[in-house]
Structure 1
Amino acid sequence: MIEELPKIPLELYVVSYMNKCAKEGIKATFDEICWGVLNHLPKDQVQINDNEMILDILKRIAILNKTTGEWKLKTDDPKLFDDI
């Protein structure tokens, strides 16, 4: 009998890709994040909760810079102008 691999929450892929963008100096726009995450999803190994969208995840874990369109992960130490 083949054992089924555990499914990995989509949020982990989004966080991982955003960390990669930060390390490599890639501007993490919505399009860049979607392309980067969807390109690396393993087939049938991703857990998506109640049709959760990448945008829903971003709104929960990141802050959008409205001027540049870049998303940054929330930190424990929020800055005054993070959401401009």
Structure 2
Amino acid sequence: MKFMKAIMRMTRLRGKADLGKGPVLGTLIKLSIPSIAMVLFHTLFHLVDTVFISWLGESHMVAISYTFPVQIGVFAILEGVGNGMTSL
């Protein structure tokens, strides 16, 4: 509970950012950094997961190879919605 109160206090201190002022490219880069970091961490997690699953056999690798594009697609949609809601 104290943690949430501290977060709320910090949010109030910062105030609202006016995204309509300043350079567009700088604002776009600032807003896209969290998305880029999350995609990189997610891909790194999947690569490490692939190494461990490769020890189980070829059929397991085929299964994870089929699910990776679906997983990335769902993740990209949810990340986009999350960032869109954050910028409001």
- TM-score, normalising length from structure 1? 0.29
Larger of the two Rg values belongs to structure? 2
- TM-score, normalising length from structure 2? 0.29
Which structure is higher in strand share?
1
